Amino acid sequence: MFYCVVYKERLNLFRHLLNMSWGSTFCLITGASRGIGQAIAVELSKKLGEGSVLLLLARTQSGLDETKKLVEEINNRVQVHPVAIDLQKAAIQEYKSVIVDSLKNVKVSTSTIQRATLIHNVGGFEAKLALKLDNASALQNDLNLNFVSPILLNTQFCNIFNETTKKRTIVQISSGASKVPVPNFSIYCSIKAARNHFFHTLAMEEPSIRVLSYNPGPVDTNLFHSFYTESGDTKEEAYKKFEDVGFPVTQPSESAAVLLEILDKDEFESGAFVNVYKRK
């Protein structure tokens, strides 16, 4: 009986080690305190090897601490560094220091990192009709958080993890709304479309960096709740509408798992827009 228990434990450990396909990785995820960002962190933790660092950014420390707890329950070999930061207001130096400080705190050098991955998930928008957009300050805040901050973070990330890093990947969480207009969400649609073009251009300029715009599809998150409440639908009605047109609503963990599968296979054209259903 004792030997059976030991055998099972060793077999589980062996399977766990086989699943760690990413090796020594530094991964930065924004908007990691809940929803898709949290789910990506949890799913990714199953693949990270010894010496890996997971830098989690969001505004809410309590949510980040919950994500850290979930990750460590799965893989306690990963060094998780949660940092509460408002990317809407962050200065350029903060983008650099948050990465450098995390490496110092966990005593990891960039030279030991085989793979550096940046996942832009943070986002926040106010639902409003296009001709009701009359607050310049609010519009600038939307641009800072959703468009400017990813650009600045890219630059600092790739300065720190330069061409000497074996593999560099940048993922931006896009949306079907970047392709199809949605009433009350003109700013959301426009910025997501602009981000698609920006990241596609980045991929053309930097062929050594793998770039992906990932559309997670309709996911049961707070943002999805905003979409259907603005349209006057119930949750059940919204689910049925999406299912009827061939885009069933998924849970964050499901969409995150598909993203990791796409990154594992690594068959996408750099800069491509790929959705959860693996259709362009």
pLDDT tens profile 24-46:
999 999 999 999 999 999 999 99
Q: Give the residue from 25, 95, 11, 18 showing the smallest Cα distance to 54.
A: 25
14 vs 182, which has greater pLDDT?
Answer: 182
Q: Check residue 143 and give its pLDDT.
A: 93
Domain ranges of the chain: 20-122+149-275
Residue type for position 102 = S
pLDDT digits (tens, 9 = 90+) for 53-108: 999 999 999 999 999 999 999 999 999 999 999 999 888 899 999 999 999 888 88
How many C-beta atoms surround the C-beta of residue 40 within 10 A?
Answer: 28
For the chain, give the DSSP string: -HHHHHHHHHHHHHHHHHH-TT-SEEEEEESTTSHHHHHHHHHHHTT--TT-EEEEEES-HHHHHHHHHHHHHH-TTSEEEEEE--TTT--HHHHHHHHHHHHHHTT--GGG-SEEEEEE-------B-GGG---HHHHHHHHIIIIIHHHHHHHHHHHHS-TTSSEEEEEEE--GGGTS--TTBHHHHHHHHHHHHHHHHHHHH-TTEEEEEEE--SBSSHHHHHHHHHTT--HHHHHHHHHHTT---B-HHHHHHHHHHHHHHT-SPTTEEEETTS--
Least confident stretch, 15-19, 20-24, 157-161, 209-213: 15-19
Q: Check residue 82 and give its pLDDT.
A: 96
Residue 233 pLDDT level (bands cut at 50, 70, 90) = low
Residue 255 pLDDT level (bands cut at 50, 70, 90) = very high
Q: Is the pLDDT of residue 48 over 50?
A: yes
Distance between CA 247 and CA 244 in Å, rounded? 7
Residue 218 pLDDT level (bands cut at 50, 70, 90) = confident
Residue type for position 27 = C
Distance between CA 117 and CA 27 in Å, rounded? 5
Q: Give the residue from 82, 175, 65 showing the smallest Cα distance to 125.
A: 175
Residue 179 pLDDT level (bands cut at 50, 70, 90) = very high
For 109-133, give the DSSP string: -GGG-SEEEEEE-------B-GGG-
CATH class entry, domain 20-122+149-275: alpha beta
Distance between CA 38 and CA 44 in Å, rounded? 10
Residue 15 pLDDT level (bands cut at 50, 70, 90) = very low
What spatial distance separates the first Cα and last Cα of the chain, rounded to whole Å? 52
Q: Give the residue from 25, 23, 46 showing the smallest Cα distance to 161.
A: 25
Measured in degrees and rounded to the nearest 5, phi and psi for residue 46 equal -70, -15
Q: Give the residue from 115, 114, 88, 110 showing the smallest Cα distance to 99.
A: 110
Q: Is the pLDDT of residue 1 over 60?
A: no
pLDDT, mean of residues 227-253: 69
pLDDT, mean of residues 217-240: 68
Q: Are 71 and 46 in contact (CB under 8 A)?
A: no
Q: Is the pLDDT of residue 197 over 70?
A: yes
Distance between CA 26 and CA 24 in Å, rounded? 7
pLDDT, mean of residues 184-213: 96
Least confident stretch, 101-105, 246-250, 270-274: 246-250
Average pLDDT over the chain, rounded to an integer: 87
